[in-house]
Amino acid sequence: MNTKKIGFIGGGNMASSLINGLITSGHSPSQIWVSDTNPDALQSLVASLKVNVTSNNDELVRQVDVVVLAVKPQIMRVVTEGLDNAAENKNVLFVSIAAGISQRSLTEWLGEDAAIVRCMPNTPALVLTGATALHANKVVNDDQKDLAENILRAVGISIWVDKESELDAVTAVSGSGPAYYFLLMEAMENAALELGLSESTARLLIQQTALGAAKIALESHDTSAELRRKVTSPGGTTEQAIKTFEDGAFSTLVSKALHAARDRSIEMSKELGEK
């Protein structure tokens, strides 16, 4: 993979995170290209990461083996239409990390022969602990699948899904998921203040507890339900808190929230594909 040339159209936070992860894992900055309309963003990338930059998307496509489409979903069509001409004589892989843009739309804009991998990363990729699901169209070969997977692994874990429709569920679970944990942490912080803890003490305790719980879950073979049972002593304080959650239909509310996020992801794909 280190011999492959990788291009990023869009030099925002997610692209910067991926580039940083690639360089940290041994990819040469000289093999990385970035295109962006913001000259300040390009100058910053040159100064901090020593990558190649351009404001011309076609030039970037002609230089690289894989193009990571890291622009806002609302401008994806404008950015991608016509790129197939620049890639005409090359077996270029296109990797989209934009939420809500279907492979059908990307194929319409990039051409029927375009090799496309659609990804759903999440914001913890910014601190190299992301979770990304990927789906490839039928044009993508095995080497290109490995390349796409390795790029996303530079910022966390990456897994393949069998059907593109599963990415809507992934969006609801891990794509939007960090916000759910932040909401719980926010609610716990507010309650901790009511219980008499200082803001700094409450925040640090809650953040470390969230980190520790996630670490236990990652390193254990037990299910989440079993882990919860193991730390819930009969008649104890944890049991009282869990019972209160359950009395408030916590699981039902979580299910409704994830279904709502999944449904909105489907709606966005339709809306964005029409623009």
Q: Which amino acid is at 73?
A: P
- Residue 203 pLDDT: 98
Query: What are the structure tokens assigned to 56, written together?
Result: 């011309």
Average pLDDT over every residue of 233-256: 97
Report the percentage of the chain scoring pLDDT > 70: 97
Please tell me the distance from the alpha carbon of residue 144 to that of residue 84, in angstroms, as a whole number: 17
Do the two domains 6-167 and 175-267 of this chain adopt the same fold? no
Question: Please, what's the b/e burial string for 125-140 (b: 16 or more CB within 10 A of its CB; e: otherwise)?
Answer: bbeeebbbbbbbbebb
> Would the pLDDT of 2 be above 70?
no
> Would the pLDDT of 205 be above 80?
yes
- Residue 83 pLDDT: 87
Confidence of residue 100 (pLDDT cuts 50, 70, 90): confident
- Residue 274 pLDDT: 61
The domain made up of 6-167 is a member of CATH 3.40.50.720: yes
- Residue 3 pLDDT: 72
- Residue 220 pLDDT: 97
pLDDT tens digits, one per residue of 12-64: 999 999 999 999 999 999 999 999 999 999 999 999 999 999 999 999 999 99
Most confident of 85-94, 207-216, 261-270: 207-216
Please tell me the distance from the alpha carbon of residue 235 to that of residue 162, in angstroms, as a whole number: 44
Phi-psi region at 200: left, alpha or beta (left = phi > 0; alpha = psi -120 to 50): alpha
Average pLDDT over every residue of 185-195: 98
Handedness of CA 78, 79, 81, 82 (dihedral sign): positive
Q: Which CATH code is given to the segment(s) 175-267?
A: 1.10.3730.10
Please tell me the distance from the alpha carbon of residue 51 to that of residue 61, in angstroms, as a whole number: 15
Confidence of residue 91 (pLDDT cuts 50, 70, 90): confident
> Would the pLDDT of 252 be above 70?
yes
- Residue 89 pLDDT: 60
- Residue 275 pLDDT: 55
**Domain regions of the chain by residue span:** 6-167, 175-267
Say if pTM beats, i.e. exceeds, 0.85.
Answer: yes
Please tell me the distance from the alpha carbon of residue 178 to that of residue 207, in angstroms, as a whole number: 13
What mean pLDDT is reported for the chain? 94
Q: What share of the chain is helix, strand, coil (3-state, %, to 5)?
A: 60, 15, 30
